[in-house]
Chains A and B, each alone.
Chain A
Amino acid sequence: MDLNFTSSELAFRDEVRAFLDTKLPKRLSEMVRNGQRLSKADQEEWHAILNEKGWLANHWPKEHGGTGWTAVEKFIFENECALAHAPRVLPFGLSMLGPVLIKYGNDQQKSYWLPRILNGQDWWCQGYSEPGAGSDLAALKTTAVRDGDDYIINGQKTWTTQGQHANMIFCLVRTSKEGKKQEGISFILVDMTTPGIEVRPIKTIDGGFEVNEVFFSDVRVPAENLVGEENKGWTCAKYLLTYERTNIAGVGFSVAALEKLKAIAADQQANEGRLIDDPQFAARLAKVEIELENMKTTNLRVIAAVAGGGVPGAESSMLKVKGTEIRQEITSLTRRAVGSYALPYNPPAFEEGFNGPHIGPDYAAPTAKSYFNNRKLSIFGGSNEIQKNIISKMILGL
């Protein structure tokens, strides 16, 4: 039993820290730290920096331009990035589509699409959920009908994150209505500029535009864009979801957010002293801090169990549930910490380069926005209720 990283893992951590120290632009880390919204160009800038170092595709094997890192190294990297307030690497091309192409794509698809993900030529989004297919994903109704060398797609996808920036979308589509609903699904790559595609933004409760609806009317897609076999797309879909869950606990995000929360609570006044010394608030803070300390070890235990390679199985469901509860609690306490200055709604303060005037303390503006935005954490990637179904079935055997 040894909770410490090995000397080579520590050396790797130092290398990551040194890299972040010199290569992460201050402008970007400040925006992340201040809860400001990153533009497409901001995110592309960070992707390009990581790609130059060869650290962009940390879920890919080396022969495809990935890092070939172990589970522990991936954890260290993601943790250090979060602590340094680096922008999140967008998962759609790198963590989701990439592994699917590597496992199920043909040689031509791999050699064409993978380099384009790395060099930023393609910006991918995910066409999974539909209005009638959320947690019950296999109930999806968008159809692809074969017509010569093409498929013709009709239907609607929704909750498409960053779809407004994307030029490509990978979709689950129904190619057969025979048999079980999982058996008629295919996985296909679609150019967003194809005639018949319309993207409509969905405004979320925090006032932001991250997600979209994507409509398909008679969209003609070359059949060569099919990944894997026709009607076998559910296999790809499930495989992709396991990758979606690898960093699901978000421990690094929580550590960084807790640090910021403590600084705010030390600055805020409550009664005769500081908020951080208020017994009620201190108790809430300590409870979530202890949960996070426990979570760090739980996360490492799951990673250590798959250290030989691969990705965590059903155990990642418990990381998702507890990890997102912790992140949500921290954003909730951060909103609570600023008192009545959570109330002013001042969208310009969410944008880069905002120089004031601030309403109340400069850290107050995004707290309510972040709190409401982060309600999504327990919903996306398989809602926490779905995760509990998985735990119940796969671990408890119920």
Chain B
Amino acid sequence: MDFNLTDDRRMLADTLSRFIQDQYTIESRNEAANSAIGYSQDLWSQYAELGVIGALFDEENGGFGGKGFDLAVVFENLGRGLVCEPFLDNAILAGGTLAAAGNDAQKAIIEDIIAGSKTATFAHFEPRSRYSLQKVETTAVATDDGWTLNGAKAVVRFIDTADYVIVSARTSNGVNDKDGISLFLLDTASVNLNVNSYNTVAGGRAGEVTLNNLTVSKDALIGEVGQAHDVLEKVVGAGIVALCAEALGVMEAAKEQTVDYIQTRKQFGVPIGKFQALQHRMADILIEIEQVRSAVINAAAALEKEDRVERERALSAAKYTVGHVGQKIAEETIQIHGGIGMAWELPLGHYAKRLVMIDHELGDEDYHLGRYISLGKTLSPTSDQ
């Protein structure tokens, strides 16, 4: 039993944390996050140079990390800094898909992602699929020289600037079947995507993508026809570890900002942090964050486990915990700040927004509680008739 980071990971964390502290102010962050492309391309190149993107891939794919705890270390620091650059959808989800199922030509793109010279994004979720991994209405029909895609993809992050987009589509079976889903790699410069893009609530860009008789060549297919579900589950699992760790960093920062504030803000002649009504709420926040930290550790440790039920339950448990606690901490830290907590100029509100919005990515508290329960039914002989 050892809860210390390896030396390599501690160095990575130190480097990243120092870089973020030096490079970010809330003003510059907000300017980039709410700009026309939703992030800073200049910072993105610097992250690549620092090797932060490479830490998210294993050696086989040109990186030097890629394990659950590598993701956790990087994303906790990103969360602390409220970083809006496209780490999740680009590196973890799209890059992760190529690493898990791509052929050699497709995997070659990972090098460009790690170098920061290209970005990719992940278009799986649909206007009517909510958080489901298997509900796919978009279709792909085989033609003589490739595939024809029809359908719509929802809230595809950073689609404006992405060089590549990975699209899931149904090649057989019913709309809700696990079988029959396939993945396609599209070069956004050479296909005519219909995109309606917009800014998102906690920073960054996204877009609604419509695929209208879009034809792609045969080599666009990633992995086996109809067998994408397990790939989706794998990369979304990594995405859950990343998001949960990010949320942990956001929570820690929001907690620290609130502790600092109540030690300086005076009312009735004393710092408001002297009031027990606020002290106990801060103590609750601390306790809940420690539980989140444990949930993140459990999920990161589970990510490489072979046993599907054990792995996926730990992931859903973590995302449930983060969703549940995240909303509480967002609400509490604003409330404890009082009026100033409502001001756009203060960092806190932006942290609170990110915390709440994380619950809307890759499945929320309710979705993951339900999934945890369903997975448990296959686990225990007493709970399945």
A contacts, CB < 8 Å to B = 1-6, 9, 72, 262-263, 266, 273-274, 276-277, 282-283, 286-287, 290-291, 293-298, 300-301, 304-305, 318, 321-322, 385, 387-389, 391-392, 395-398
Bound CA–CA A263/B69 (angstroms): 35
Q: Please tell me if B71 contacts chain A, counting CB pairs below 8 Å.
A: no
Q: In the bound complex, do residue B1 and residue A2 qualify as a contact, i.e. CB atoms below 8 Å apart?
A: yes
Known: A294-B298, A298-B294. A274 touches B385 (CB 8 A): yes
Measured between beta carbons, the chain A residues less than 8 angstroms from B372 are 286, 290
Known: A2-B1, A391-B283, A398-B279. A293 touches B298 (CB 8 A): yes
- Cα-based distance from A290 to B290 in the complex (angstroms): 14
Is A389's CB under 8 angstroms from B383's CB? no
Residues of A close to B383: CB separation below 8 A: 262, 266, 276-277
Do A389 and B276 have beta carbons less than 8 Å apart? Answer: yes
In the complex, which of the residues A9, A294, A301 contacts B3, with contact meaning CB atoms closer than 8 Å?
Answer: A301
- Please state if A398 and B259 are interface contacts (CB–CB under 8 Å): yes
Contact of B287 with A322 in the complex, beta carbons under 8 Å: yes
A243 to chain B, nearest CB (A): 22
Interface string of B1-44 (1 = CB under 8 A from A): 11111100100000000000000000000000000000000000
Contacts of B274 in A (CB 8 A): 398
Residues of chain B lying within 8 A (CB to CB) of residue A262: 380, 382-383
Give, as a whole number of angstroms, the nearest-CB distance from A2 to chain B. Answer: 5
Q: Which residue of A lies closest to B381 (CB)?
A: A266
Contact count band on B? 35 or more
How far, in whole Å, are A9 and B1 apart by their CA atoms in the complex?
9
3 closest A-B pairs by beta carbon, nearest first, are A297-B294, A388-B283, A392-B279
Known A-B contacts A1-B3, A287-B369; A398 and B282 likewise in contact (beta carbons under 8 Å):
yes
Residues on B with C-beta less than 8 A from A283 are 369-370, 373
B162 at the interface (CB under 8 A from A): no
Give A73 Cβ to nearest chain B Cβ, in Å. 11
Known: A286-B369, A318-B286, A396-B282. A291 touches B291 (CB 8 A): yes
7 residue pairs bridging A and B, Cβ less than 8 Å apart: A1-B4, A274-B385, A304-B1, A322-B290, A388-B279, A391-B287, A396-B282
Q: How far apart are the CA atoms of A82 and B228 in the complex, in Å?
A: 44
- Residues of A within 8 Å of B380, CB to CB, are 262
> Which has the most chain A C-beta neighbours within 10 Å: B297, B300, B370?
B297
Query: In the assembly, what is the distance between CA of A397 and CA of B273, in Å?
Result: 9
Q: Is B206 an interface residue (CB 8 A)?
A: no
> Which residue in chain A gives the minimum CB-CB distance to B272?
A398
Contact B295 A294 (CB under 8 A): yes
Residues of A close to B282: CB separation below 8 A: 392, 396, 398
Determine the chain A residues whose CB is within 8 A of the CB of B278 once the complex forms: 398
Q: Is the CB of B294 within 8 A of A282?
A: no
Provided the pairs A1-B5, A1-B69, A72-B1 are in contact, do residues A398 and B291 lie with their beta carbons within 8 angstroms? no
Is the pair B6, A1 in contact by a Cβ cutoff of 8 Å? Answer: yes
Contacts of A2 in B (CB 8 A): 1-2
For chain B, residues 48 to 77, give those with C-beta under 8 angstroms from any C-beta of chain A: 69
CB of B376 within 8 Å of the partner chain: yes
B329 vs chain A, min Cβ distance (A) = 14
Q: Flag if A1 contacts B373 (CB, 8 Å).
A: no
A265 CB → nearest B CB, Å: 8
Q: How far is the CB of B93 from chain A (nearest CB, A)?
A: 23
Extra contacts, 7 of them, besides A1-B6, A295-B291 (Cβ < 8 A), are A4-B1, A266-B382, A277-B377, A301-B293, A321-B287, A385-B280, A388-B280
